[in-house]
Structure 1
Amino acid sequence: MMMKISFVPATLLLLSWFGCTTTFVESANILAVVPFNGRSHYIVIEALLKGLAAKGHQVTVFSSFPQKKPVKNLTDIDVSYLTPTVVNGFTLDFEIQDMLDKAKNGFIYFSFGSVFKSASMEKHMLDAFLKAFSKLPQLIIWKFEEEIDNIPPNLIIKKWWPQRDIFGHKNIKAFITHGGLSSILEGVNAGIPILGIPLFADQPGNINNLVRRGAGIQLNLEDITFDNVYNALTRLINDKSYMENAKMMSHQFKDRPMSALENAIFWVEYVLRHKGAYHMHSTAADLPLHQLLLLDVIAFLLISFFIFLYLIYIIFKVFYSHIIKRNKTKKVKFSKDKKKQ
């Protein structure tokens, strides 16, 4: 049987590149190169890869996180030796489960993701968090990369926590985050009120979307003091509207004709069925750079603006010359009249 070979690059979930070799969409050979050394980033696409394998596609994955148990139709190629792995472990074991179950006042989860290290924050910020946590009745679990001396009894730190499993626990009351897209989506999906402390890039916008919907509070880095942290967390937990709005957002987020995973699988297979789906190809990809960046439009507007300024200059110059000439004529006439007198 002859097979038509094609390579279709596509950006899917956090810059993961796919190549597909296929004749029939029922069974495609899919290559996934996932160049992330952070487990929290990899799991975003892991479910899609497993889902495609479960549909019968032959999936080959280059990543730093091979499956611990073999998955049918999925072949892992471990490349963790190429980049240092920044996280470890990802299961909610009995010890953690028991600890969260016993948190009678609930618990707050704190993580700045796998890129930014909480241990690198300035001392006055760390002191502000520790003091605020010590005054709260809730258990605090914090992803922190180093040991801390003299921590309050209601604070537990680890280098990594199983975030998705923690979000599914009934006793969670709030989530403190930097506002990364993956963390925000997981928090919204779980229906958890969020205290957002944005660091850079898209994070301020992500958190602002929650604030506008009444499901979160934002604190900037320069605003981190004991009073601000304590008051924000107290308000987030005690004001029931934040939890209600978070639950409403979660319901809205999940109310769709198919799950997010099913939707992702559908579009991968759609591209396969339609041989790259070039009918959906953006015309922007074919534009010359000067058109793509609207440099021609900008040049036209700038030229028009300078022409307008030049015309204004000419008008004022003519007007000024006319006034000067008129004044000179009046002066000459006045001088002649004076001499006659």
Structure 2
Amino acid sequence: MLVNSLKVKVLGTVAAVAASISIAIPAAMSQSVVKVDGSSTVFPITEAAAESFTKETGGKIRVTVGVSGTGGGFRKFCRGETDISNASRPILQKEIDECKKAGINYIELPVGYDGLTVVINPQNTWARNLTTAELRRIWEPAAQGKITNWSQVRAGFPNVPLRLFGPGTASGTFDYFTEAINGKAKASRGDYTASEDDNVLVNGVTRDRGGLGYFGFSYFVENRTKLTAASVNGVAPSEQTIRSGKYTPLSRPVFIYVNAKSAQNPAVRQFVTHYLRNGVAINRRAKTVSLPGPAYATVLNRFNSNQTGSVLGGKEKIGITLQELLARPR
């Protein structure tokens, strides 16, 4: 009788656990997930948006934010693997074609500004201001294996080895910089330390007196005690010079692209609405440069109106202003 009683108790306990599991698992699986991937430059903005959104919703909707570069992000997006793609440049024609082939429409939304920041080691006292011509001399394809010392960049620069650090070829920052400086996207010397992780670039320049690199403005702000930002054509990158476009040609808008089908998902719609309604505060938290406050209402209207396609038609436009970007019809 005692054994039978114990069996009943054990079976009852197992049944209770099983019942609790059968309830708990569907509840966990029912949690809405918004999937984002793409640009490392836009990552801090979207991450800040995800954090404030999670706080606002009490974690009922989970937002995952990956970093595979703008190009890598678009590849996933055009395969239907993500709801939103972070992009530090506009979608390119080949990516438009890939999305079209897969039946994916998208809504293009500018969410902030960036200024590609050229950084040097703090011990570098000679290259505090560089011209676009000098940057081209350093980074153009013809410089590979030839321009390897600072003394070759400008007469009077010291005999110090030039060590270069920059984004990988899947990066939108790489695309924009090479087009703005070298005149053609992806046209660059290849003998430099490349990484999609901007922290690798920060560490590389920090450790080498002759180091020079470039990446998004927020990563410089985050590491300004370790690095020096070089002025370009006499203009230093700052929130003011980037937003005004004075920091040219390296100022640019940055974007999120929302899968139009995903936009009908209440979780995605709620997240994007939160993102745009709080755009100024989110950029401030991410230490990035926001659009002017009223611009977010225009961008939100574009989202709510389900305006699909790209205003730039698959082409990079160096130096485009926000006014041009928002005024262009699809």
TM over 0.5: no
Q: How high is the TM-score relative to the length of structure 1?
A: 0.23
Structure with the bigger percentage of helix: 1
Which has the larger Rg?
1
- Which structure has more RCO (C-alpha within 8 Å, separation ≥ 6)? 2
